[in-house]
Amino acid sequence: MDANVALATPPVIRRADYQAPDWLVPEIALDFALDPALTVVKARLTVTRNGAHGRPLRLDGDGLDPVSIAVDGEMLADAWRMDGPVLVIDLPGDAHVVETEVRLSPETNSQLMGLYASGGLLCTQCEAEGFRRITFFPDRPDVLSRYHVRMAADKTRFPVLLANGDPVAQGDGPDGTHWAEWHDPFPKPCYLFALVAGDLAANRDHFVTRSGRPVDLAIWVREADLPKTAHAMQALKTSMAWDERVYGREYDLAIFNIVAVADFNFGAMENKGLNIFNSRYILADPDTATDADFDAIAGVVAHEYFHNWSGNRVTCRDWFQLSLKEGFTVFRDQGFSADQGSPAVKRIEDVKMLRAAQFPEDAGPLAHPIRPESYIEISNFYTATIYNKGAEIVRMLHTMLGAARFRQGSDLYFDRHDGEAATCEDFVAAMEDATGEDLAQFRLWYGQAGTPRIRADLEYDAPGGRARLLLSQLVPPTPGQDAKQPMPIPLRLALLGEPSGKEVVAEQLVVLKDAQAELLFEGVAERPVLSINRGFSAPVVIESNRNATDLAFLSANDPDPFARFEAMQQLMLDTLVAGVATGQVDHAPVVEAIAKTLADPALDQAFIAECVLLPSEAFVGDQLLVVDPDAIALVREGLRREIGTQLEKAWRGAYAGTAANHYAYTPPAKGARRLRTIALGYLAVSGAEDADDMAWRQYIDADNMTDRQGALGVLANGHAPAREKTLADFYKRYQADALVLDKWFTAQALSTRPDTVAAVRALAAHPDFTLANPNRIRSLVNAFAVNQRAFNDVGGDGYRFLGEMIVAVDQINPQTAARLVPPLGRWRRFEPVRAAMMRSELERIVAVPDLSRDVYEQVSKSLV
Ligand code: ARG
Ligand code: ZN
């Protein structure tokens, strides 16, 4: 049966229904006769009954037809049956050997789950439930097996044959074929199985672990891409050393392979000893990849490497525990990236990401706790909530316990559960047992969805030298969760004296546990200003009685860099929100605060760059009960123009000050490039006559993609002749490089021009646009859907376009299609005319016959 065929009412899987597996599979031997058109897979499973029961063996399948089935060497005629896609076999004893044979067609597998073809190579993706598209198996993460893999393929087309673990044998076969055998000594769930066959070249390197174990490293790509693998290799070695130093975790096999593939549903996959990556997270050189790309590559390489412990050595019992490995591993990769450059800037980037992707999820129809209670299709739960909010929850433990005790907890967790499939509860219990901390109330963070809103009001009694801080929390209702309990909210806070800027109350960690609390501070001799949620110590929204003067003061004086950035953001946000409400914008405080920040010699350029950018239109919309995208754009654009015009000299100064910057991938050089393009953007909106020319010069003279893409992005918003010239040049220069051409699509999809919907429609008909490649879909369609102004064009064609894309992509690749749904699911937040159009687009989609479970789940939940 095809997974793409929606059942009438797709079944709901519930966390509460978890049952231990009836049968275990301690050993599996797989034999692949690989061919893109027709691959034969023979599997030999050693199965053992788990507990005293009489139930049959049930092996998951998806799109598989058994060619033959044998038990203990005997061909079976009638002791098996199909229950839908599941192969059911009655077994008399407690231990048997079950053999199956199936046929696959990798080249027609457009879902990119299971075994598929990409750019001439064959590769696999099994997480979460792709292994059942390769062979019949109990496809669940708590069944761990030792894998023996044999592969045979045409030697010319597929000279390289890779699988998990260690290579044990290889040789030539008949008819120009060759074969290889791999053995993985570590028992693993089937979602970590991988193989790759293709004509690949390796960047080889070497690492010696802390205990002296040598590891051969290789990054496999097409020969022509070899020069672009140096950065990823460096990141891999740095990650390996970092995990030893910070978490005491060493690598455990003699080989670590990474393969880059062009067609991939998400970022990368941590298959044991054989990570498979979306090529955009491996390939980089200064001419084709931006600083953000380089950073993302290092972060994803680290993330997948760190999974070797947080994910592979200790895996998940069931998919409801997904955040156990993903939240923890994101927390680990964030720590790694922070240590490579500026921790403050990294924290700002991570919080921006959380606010852009996770807060809206928490506030919408698809809100779910980091440990969900139910799902229809698990692929829909690889979300910003599971990943990024999950990381924030681990970070709060780190903040409350302190680094040393957190490490004791993680050591205990790894030691206690090594080789096991664990739960979120196991993680918290290990933290508790190692430190003696009572985390009973903290567990609510795993079960309650929604972003807590914290009210923080400071009152000052000047004659008495007393300050009183009133704190309260509210966790808003989310689908299926009307009433919430108060959660422990760790708030790093201090009081700054104004005007001295000194901490009149030193920083402390306050954990708000109740719905309300009151804190009293004595001996406060100077008017105090509240600095709260420093470092974004809790993933919450803070509302306070700080006015524009207080926020401006903090933005110039707070010693905590995140709080300083945050004060500026809040000042900007308050200004914009008031502007949307009243039509009047008081530019002065924002302009003045930016001027001060630009002129502060103590600040580095990367940090300044983050501080001087206005919050996105979408984030402004998130503050409002009813979103009117045109009103927001008008007010924000007006403020941008004021900032550009009034500070023109400062922007020119910043631009000139970053001109002599020759390319280097270092934090100061990256900061200079970032500030440079931001300055260019402000000069462009200010209407400066030479801005287009400056942008063209920046584009054409650039010695790196960051400057080039920056200039292209600025020009893409305007109408200057330089715009078309630059787009044409970019296309000509990079047409042959798919990853760079993606940037060309994205720059146009993100444009603020009023004709963007039509332009995006035209681009979807461009010969280089294809639904077969997820990166290309994301570069145009997902990018367009985050362009609040264009996507919500009042004509409604943005919604219609996205709806058409969802339906078209669903026929090819349900996972990628489902990821296009959430922007439409936000309809309730918009003014009535747009809300009605969005809703009717969802209704149109849900009525399409043969919808995948993936899209069905997202659309139906969005309509409730
Ligand atoms: N585990 C992979 C990671 O490192 C992602 C797998 C995503 N799978 C999916 N079905 N969306 O984050
Ligand atoms: Zn991951």
Tens of pLDDT, residue by residue over 597-652, are 999 999 999 999 999 999 999 999 999 999 999 999 999 999 999 999 999 999 99
Q: Is the pLDDT of residue 6 over 60?
A: no
Q: How many angstroms separate the CA atoms of 307 and 148, rounded? A: 22
Q: How many angstroms separate the CA atoms of 764 and 777, rounded? A: 9
266 lines ligand 1 (CB under 6 A): yes
Q: Is the pLDDT of residue 3 over 70?
A: no
| CA 326 to ligand 1: nearest atom | 12
Cα–ligand 2 centroid distance for 277 (angstroms): 12
Q: How many angstroms separate the CA atoms of 25 and 45, rounded? A: 6
Cβ atoms of 530 and 542 closer than 8 Å: no
Model confidence over 767-819: pLDDT tens digits? Answer: 999 999 999 999 999 999 999 999 999 999 999 999 999 999 999 999 999 99
379 lines ligand 1 (CB under 6 A): yes
Parts of the chain belonging to CATH 1.10.390.10? 314-447
What superfamily in CATH does domain 14-199 come from? tricorn interacting facor f3 domain (2.60.40.1730)
Residues 571-577, mean pLDDT to the nearest whole number: 98
Residues 413-430, mean pLDDT to the nearest whole number: 99
Model confidence over 265-311: pLDDT tens digits? Answer: 999 999 999 999 999 999 999 999 999 999 999 999 999 999 999 99
- Annotated catalytic residues are 304
**Ligand 1 pocket mutation pick from 190, 323, 382 by most atoms within 8 angstroms of CB:** 382
| pLDDT: which is higher, 286 or 1 | 286
Cα atoms in the Cβ-side hemisphere of radius 13 Å centred on 70: 10
Cβ atoms of 608 and 344 closer than 8 Å: no
pTM exceeding 0.95: yes
Query: What's the full length of the chain, in residues?
Result: 864
Q: How many angstroms separate the CA atoms of 567 and 551, rounded? A: 5
Cα–ligand 2 centroid distance for 311 (angstroms): 8
Residue with the smallest CA separation from ligand 1 atom 9 is: 379
pLDDT of residue 9: 84
Cα–ligand 1 centroid distance for 312 (angstroms): 13
Q: How many CB atoms lie within 10 A of CB 417?
A: 19
24 alpha carbon, distance to own chain's centre: 33
Burial class (CB in 10 A: 0-12, 13-18, 19+), 468: middle
What superfamily in CATH does domain 314-447 come from? Neutral Protease Domain 2 (1.10.390.10)
Model confidence over 336-367: pLDDT tens digits? Answer: 999 999 999 999 999 999 999 999 999 999 99
Residues 422-430, mean pLDDT to the nearest whole number: 99
pLDDT of residue 688: 96
Hey, what are 394's tokens? Answer: 């681990």
Q: How many angstroms separate the CA atoms of 170 and 181, rounded? A: 6
What one-character DSSP code corresponds to residue 4? Answer: T
377 lines ligand 1 (CB under 6 A): no
Cα atoms in the Cβ-side hemisphere of radius 13 Å centred on 726: 32
pLDDT of residue 4: 47
Hey, what are 65's tokens? Answer: 């037809």
Cα–ligand 2 centroid distance for 417 (angstroms): 19
**Ligand 1 pocket mutation pick from 112, 190, 266, 276 by most atoms within 8 angstroms of CB:** 266
Q: How many CB atoms lie within 10 A of CB 668?
A: 14
Nearest CA among 277, 264, 270 for reference residue 111: 264
Residue with the smallest CA separation from ligand 1 atom 5 is: 269
Q: How many CB atoms lie within 10 A of CB 17?
A: 9
Torsion of CA 285, 291, 296, 297, to 10 degrees: 20
**Ligand 1 pocket mutation pick from 111, 124, 126, 127 by most atoms within 8 angstroms of CB:** 127
**What is the assigned CATH class of domain 562-863?**
mainly alpha
Parts of the chain belonging to CATH 2.60.40.1840? 453-545
Tell me what percent of the residues of the chain surpass a pLDDT of 90.
98
382 lines ligand 1 (CB under 6 A): yes
Cα–ligand 1 centroid distance for 326 (angstroms): 8
Parts of the chain belonging to CATH 1.25.50.10? 562-863
Residue with the smallest CA separation from ligand 1 atom 4 is: 269
Cα–ligand 1 centroid distance for 126 (angstroms): 9
Hey, what are 126's tokens? Answer: 């099994």
Model confidence over 456-506: pLDDT tens digits? Answer: 999 999 999 999 999 999 999 999 999 999 999 999 999 999 999 999 999
DSSP H helical ranges for 558-604: 561-582, 588-599
| CA 113 to ligand 1: nearest atom | 10
pLDDT of residue 233: 99
Residue with the smallest CA separation from ligand 1 atom 8 is: 127
Helix (H/G/I), strand (E/B), else coil: 828: helix
| CA 129 to ligand 1: nearest atom | 10
Mean pLDDT of the chain: 97
Model confidence over 183-217: pLDDT tens digits? Answer: 999 999 999 999 999 999 999 999 999 999 999 99
269 lines ligand 1 (CB under 6 A): yes
270 lines ligand 1 (CB under 6 A): yes
Nearest CA among 123, 89, 99, 129 for reference residue 109: 123
Write out the H or E segment, with its range, that includes residue 174: none
Cα–ligand 2 centroid distance for 792 (angstroms): 32
| CA 303 to ligand 1: nearest atom | 4
pLDDT of residue 58: 98
Q: How many angstroms separate the CA atoms of 67 and 401, rounded? A: 56
Hey, what are 741's tokens? Answer: 């051409």
Cα–ligand 1 centroid distance for 810 (angstroms): 19
Residue type, 148: H
304 lines ligand 1 (CB under 6 A): yes
pLDDT of residue 2: 46
Give buried/exposed letters for 790-818 (b at 16+ CB in 10 A, else e). Answer: bbbbeebbbbbbbbbbbbebbebbbbbbb
Does domain 453-545 bear CATH number 2.60.40.1840?
Answer: yes
127 lines ligand 1 (CB under 6 A): yes
128 lines ligand 1 (CB under 6 A): yes
Across-strand partners of 82? Answer: 87
Tell me what percent of the residues of the chain surpass a pLDDT of 70.
99
Cβ atoms of 790 and 782 closer than 8 Å: no
Nearest CA among 474, 547, 484, 472 for reference residue 510: 472
Cβ atoms of 632 and 580 closer than 8 Å: yes
Q: Which residues have CB under 8 Å from 547's CB, separation 6+?
A: none
Q: Rounded to a whole number, what is the distance in angstroms from the first to the last CA of the chain? A: 29
Cβ atoms of 817 and 810 closer than 8 Å: yes
Q: Taking the alpha carbons of 55, 61, 63, 65 in that order, is the dihedral positive or negative?
A: negative
Q: Is the pLDDT of residue 319 over 90?
A: yes
Q: Which residues have CB under 8 Å from 139's CB, separation 6+?
A: 60, 129, 131, 132, 190, 191
